[in-house]
Chains A and B, each alone.
Chain A
């Protein structure tokens, strides 16, 4: 019954007429790739301080290349994920597609929407060899490279407010049992143990990523990823799922966490204002707390550590999860000139000296090799070297689940994670719901 029919027929039927009318009415064609010239388009995320670094790199490139400019457009995180997908599907993708690699990149590849960069990287070994080799995993689909790793390596970090810990007389947790023991201690003082932006869903997911890894190692999720039947019902998975519910039940997360979103950075504000004691968040949060938290970071108020081991767990406590890097792909629908401009940007613009300096300034570790000296010289040396060590020493640097999986499976996963955190489903129900879509 699976007969391919021309996409253009249906699209033309569904959207052609109104779209043509709307275009005729508006007169502008938006940031499409159809209109030629060497001018490339590039969409990425807004939000300081990262936005400034990205914009700066584009500005410098445009100044150096007045006849092949890049036009940048910025979007909010969650809005971008939908927008980019729709734009690509409609043939309106920007020339340079910013993303997280992994499962989403695979859908682009399967739809023939992004350029295969394997041979380009072979010819330009210089570009490839200066980056962390571990970043190429999420850029590779079926042995071919479809994206250029860029920006920073972002492990998930356990942050804590040192002042609050001093006030309460507590020590940073060295194990999961320590975490559970700290919870009543902070609650008794009227301070919420953990900040969490529960409405954003992926924030909750980071907890499961670590608990799975620490309890049973990376193999547990790998089995899910490989499409093994009933992989979620692994007793280790069920234990990890139960542990997170234990923490919710013990009031480990701030009251009302389901109303908080990460896009507004409210979860991070809770930590630096001292309303909560700890927070699990990406390494990019360091820059945000530095920018928004007054003298919180500069006065040494922010503590950070890798997620502690789980008692009796078999996972390596040196492992980490998060984003091995960010990724730039080139739309296969772009004109030859636009693709040239994009590749030129990859060679000359991406991670130029100034950009590297700025990323380090925001507390980020660029995906570039041999930056240790620069990291050590920065005012945030402690955090930067901590991140660099985690990234380079981790036996497994697992990509965030929702980025690694296909968008379809990720959506079901995130929905079920929210329900798990709301205690409206049991670990067993979670496993059943997720087993049903394994292999999708």
Chain B
């Protein structure tokens, strides 16, 4: 690093790096930082979305924090995060590991599995809604009693359905991440394990899973932060209902802002969402260990 060439290249980088980062920085500031500041400002105002914006101090904050709807929405959001994580992670790891194999039929299946990723959330929600319609859906059409339930009308069922459809949509994506992760694991580890007499299950738990640690953290961060702001699918599928059984924070924010014309309180929830999202992301970074360069390949 003390050679003249090293010095020079570092200086050269200093000149071009900011330039290269500029487009991303401008977009990030324009599309992320400025709106967040705007929302923060709006949370201290009263505005119906049409008329004049009036500064009103902490009125909106007080109204939202005292509203029994807020703890409920937080609780539902928390449940969606936990449930969709608990359903998606094991299935994605298993599918990813399965798809990492080089056999041709697995390649074919991998293509099939990606299909849900190609569909928009709204389309998925509308399709499921039509399929599960208690009177004109799949159950009634095929005469399958089990499928003719009040899927969107019973709080428990509606919640389960939301988690199921979200998982259906996103498991392919996380499987892809895990597939890549598994393929990064050196073959020599498995060969050594085989020599030591480890079976497939043992190999999975002793090699694959520990080696996937960082992949799991990446995928979990995406899942948790993603579920936190999850909106489109739930909005089309249940509109937060029945009652408020699936009213997650993001939906609560939308309903307050755009249906009830209460932009101040909606902004308060937006600020809460930003804070919680940042906290969760930070938490997952901590889980990843302090030193991200630490090698996982010791002995490989």
Instruction: Please tell me if the beta carbons of A259 and B152 are within 8 angstroms of each other in the complex.
Output: yes
Tell me whether A86 and B54 are in contact (CB under 8 A).
Answer: no
A394 interface residue per 8 A CB criterion = no
Q: Which of B40-48, B93-101, B106-114 forms part of the interface with chain A?
A: B40-48
Q: B59: which A residues are within 8 A, CB to CB? A: 1
Cβ contacts under 8 Å, B39 to chain A: 14
Q: Which residues of A contact B38 (CB under 8 A)?
A: 10, 13-15
1/0 contact string of A75-104 vs chain B (CB within 8 Å): 000000110011011000000000000000
Of A46-54, A107-115, A136-144, A168-176, the stretch lying at the interface with chain B is: A107-115
In the bound complex, what is the Cα–Cα distance between A7 and B129 (angstroms)? 40
Residue contact A3 to B243, C-beta cutoff 8 Å: no
Given contacts A108-B50, A112-B51, contact A255 B261 (CB under 8 A): no
Q: Which residues of B contact A255 (CB under 8 A)?
A: 134, 150
Question: Which of A55-63, A116-124, A281-289, A416-424 contacts the other chain?
Answer: A416-424
CB distance from B278 to the nearest CB of A (A): 19
By beta carbon, the residue of chain B nearest A81 is B259
Chain B residue contacts of A158, Cβ below 8 A: none
Minimum C-beta distance from B25 to chain A (A): 13
Complex-state Cα separation, A15 to B238, whole angstroms? 29
Interface stretch, picked from B27-35, B82-90, B186-194, B224-232, is B27-35
Contact in complex: A259, B50 (CB < 8 Å):
no
CA A15 to CA B38, docked complex, whole Å: 8
- Complex contact B258–A85 (CB within 8 A): yes
**Chain B positions 228 through 243: 1 when the CB is less than 8 Å from some CB of chain A, otherwise 0:** 0000000000110111
Q: Is B80 an interface residue (CB 8 A)?
A: no
Chain B 128-149 interface mask (CB, 8 Å, partner A; 1/0) = 0110111110000000000011
Minimum C-beta distance from A264 to chain B (A): 8
Quick check: is A407 within 8 A (CB to CB) of the other chain?
Answer: yes
B210 at the interface (CB under 8 A from A): no
- Whether the Cβ atoms of A260 and B135 lie closer than 8 Å is yes
Q: Which of B233-259 contact A (CB under 8 A)?
A: 238-239, 241-244, 255, 258-259
Q: Which residues of A contact B242 (CB under 8 A)?
A: 198-199, 258, 418, 422
Task: Report B172-203 residues with CB < 8 Å from chain A CB.
Answer: none
Chain B positions 1-55 with a Cβ under 8 Å from a chain A Cβ: 30-31, 34-35, 37-39, 41-42, 45-55
Contacts of B276 in A (CB 8 A): none
For the complex, what is the distance from the CA of A110 to the CA of B52, rounded to whole Å?
A: 10
Residues in A neighbouring B31, C-beta threshold 8 A = 18, 21
Asked if A419 and B243 make an inter-chain contact with CB atoms under 8 angstroms apart, the answer reads yes
- B233 CB → nearest A CB, Å: 15
Total count of chain B residues near the partner, CB < 8 A: 49
| A270 interfacial by beta-carbon distance below 8 Å | yes
Check: B277 CB closer than 8 A to any chain A CB: no
Contact A89 B57 (CB under 8 A): no
Interface string of A401-427 (1 = CB under 8 A from B): 000001110111001001100101000
Flag whether B160 is at the interface (Cβ < 8 A): no
Q: Which of A21, A264, A269, A412 contacts B260 (CB 8 A)?
A: A412
Distance of A19 Cα from B154 Cα, bound (Å): 41
Q: Within 8 Å CB of A2, what residues of B?
A: 46, 54-56
CB distance from B171 to the nearest CB of A (A): 25
At the interface, yes or no: B153 with Cβ under 8 Å from chain A?
Answer: yes
The CA of A82 and the CA of B256, in the complex, are separated in Å by 11
Q: Which of the residues B136, B150, B239, B261 comes within 8 Å of A266, measured between beta carbons?
A: B136
A412 to chain B, nearest CB (A): 7
Q: Does B53 contact A10, Cβ atoms closer than 8 Å?
A: yes
Q: How far is the CB of A317 from chain B (nearest CB, A)?
A: 32
- Judge whether A85 and B49 touch: CB under 8 Å: yes
Please name all residues of chain B whose beta carbon is closer than 8 Å to the beta carbon of A85 when the two chains form the complex.
49-50, 258, 261
Residue of A nearest to B149 (CB): A256
Chain B residue at minimum C-beta to C-beta distance from A267: B135
A89-B34 contact in complex given A199-B241, A258-B152, A415-B243, C-beta closer than 8 Å:
no
* A5 pairs with B53, CB closer than 8 A: yes
Q: Is the CB of A18 within 8 A of B54?
A: no
A1 and B258 CA atoms in complex are apart in Å by 25
Chain B residues within 8 Å of A4, by CB: 52-55
Give 19 pairs: A residue, B residue, CB < 8 Å, sorted on A.
A2-B54, A2-B55, A3-B54, A4-B55, A5-B53, A5-B55, A13-B37, A13-B38, A13-B41, A14-B34, A14-B41, A198-B242, A199-B239, A254-B135, A255-B150, A256-B149, A258-B150, A258-B153, A407-B261
Interface residues of A (CB under 8 A from B): 1-7, 10, 13-15, 17-18, 21, 81-82, 85-86, 88-89, 107-108, 110-113, 198-199, 254-261, 264, 266, 269-270, 275, 406-408, 410-412, 415, 418-419, 422, 424
